[in-house]
Amino acid sequence: MRVAVVGAGAIGGFYGLMLARAGHELHFVVRGDYQTIREVGMQLVSPSEGDFLLAPANVYRDVAELPQCDLILVATKTTSNIDLAPQLAKVAAPGSAVVLLQNGFGVEDTFREQLAPSVNLLGGLCIVSVHRDSPGVIHHFGLGALNVGYHSGEAGQRSAVESMIETTFREAGIELSIMPDLITARWQKLVMNIPFSGLTVLLDSGTRALMVHPATRALVRQLMVEVEAAAALCGHPLPAGYIDEAWAKTDGQPDYQSSMQVDFNAGRPLELDSIYEAPLAAVAAAGGAMPKVEMLYQSLLFLNQRNLQQ
């Protein structure tokens, strides 16, 4: 199968390399790492999956250079979505599947408006621990599952597209689950993303210290509860006990730097639209509010602007 990966950082690189190793024809759109990947290729380093070098081939600087593909994985930061969507629309063939491997809420809507009705659009939630060590070198630490939910497309194509994706990934050794409700799944991911992405930046702290101090421990929990109530108000209630599960999982984890914190410290723009602005707009439209989430968002807007100006 012909597969495109837009944005070959840690996430795009990992899934792309796994699919390439399984025999698929991969096409990568990369920005900063173009030269290295063009000359050396891309490399997977994984204690559990083994190492794999993909020789230089099919690397582009721009989405416009992509051939038509059956499957397009989008693994860029959401901050580039507004520019990316119309470009992608030009190369997404009728009947193809576009899967957004991105954080946050409402990201599919930005793309949907641009794509032809016959293009299938899906969202993916990655459960994987990966890091881009240096240009073209993806270090995989563990996990690797991918939860995918259908967003939209031409009527009647959904189950065929879901099977195609399920088969493709599973044959490549990736544990893939098809989610019945993408939006609920997005809310579930926000339960973790909203407190930890923002507070690690706002308080310049790893996750561990936030979970240890009683004041921020209470605050993390309150932010999660606001997200839970908002999901229910928006018609996508979380499964019973979901917050307790997320809580227990976090409590057991070692200290961790959120990717928003990594972006902030590197002076890159933060993904505030999809993680904060869109869920806040959704709950406001439903007549509710998330006051502490909103305060976090307001503070991050201020910090982000100052950070980018420095």
Residues annotated as part of the active site: 189
Instruction: Fill in the per-residue mask, 288 to 307: x = in contact with a second copy (CB under 8 A), - = not in contact.
Output: ---xx-xxxxxx-xxx-xx-
Identity of the residue, 45 or 224, whose beta carbon is nearer to a second copy in the bound complex: 224
Residue 106: Cβ-neighbour burial (10 angstroms; 0-12, 13-18, 19+) = middle
Residue choice 210, 227, 278, 283 for contact with a second copy (CB under 8 A): 210
Task: Assess 21 for contact with a second copy (CB under 8 A).
Answer: no
Task: Assess 205 for contact with a second copy (CB under 8 A).
Answer: yes
Residue choice 22, 53, 178, 219 for contact with a second copy (CB under 8 A): 219
> Which residue type does 157 have?
Q
Among the residues of 203-254, which ranges form H helices? 207-212, 214-233, 242-251
Identity of the residue, 122 or 223, whose beta carbon is nearer to a second copy in the bound complex: 223
CB of 195 to a second copy, least distance (A): 11
User: Among 249, 118, 238, which residue's Cα sits nearest to residue 183?
Assistant: 238
Identity of the residue, 1 or 303, whose beta carbon is nearer to a second copy in the bound complex: 303
SS3 151: strand
Task: Assess 281 for contact with a second copy (CB under 8 A).
Answer: no
Q: Distance (Å, rounded) from C-alpha 94 to C-alpha 70?
A: 9
Q: Distance (Å, rounded) from C-alpha 23 to C-alpha 12?
A: 17
User: Among 279, 270, 283, 224, which residue's Cα sits nearest to residue 250?
Assistant: 224
Q: Give the DSSP H or E segment for 255.
A: none
Backbone angles phi, psi at 27, to 5 degrees: -125, 120
Number of residues that bind a second copy (CB under 8 A): 24
Stretch of residues binding a second copy (CB under 8 A), selected from 17-25, 117-125, 154-162, 203-211: 203-211
Q: Distance (Å, rounded) from C-alpha 17 to C-alpha 44?
A: 7
First to last CA, the chain: 45
CB of 104 to a second copy, least distance (A): 18
Task: Assess 278 for contact with a second copy (CB under 8 A).
Answer: no
Identity of the residue, 181 or 255, whose beta carbon is nearer to a second copy in the bound complex: 255
Q: Distance (Å, rounded) from C-alpha 179 to C-alpha 127?
A: 14
Task: Assess 229 for contact with a second copy (CB under 8 A).
Answer: no
Identity of the residue, 22 or 233, whose beta carbon is nearer to a second copy in the bound complex: 233
Task: Assess 209 for contact with a second copy (CB under 8 A).
Answer: yes
Q: Which two tokens stand for residue 211?
A: 């979970």
Task: Assess 203 for contact with a second copy (CB under 8 A).
Answer: yes
128 conformational bin, left if phi > 0, alpha if psi -120 to 50, beta if neither? beta
Task: Assess 232 for contact with a second copy (CB under 8 A).
Answer: no
Per CB under 8 A, residues contacting a second copy are 202-203, 205, 209-210, 213, 215-216, 218-219, 222, 291-292, 294-299, 301-303, 305-306
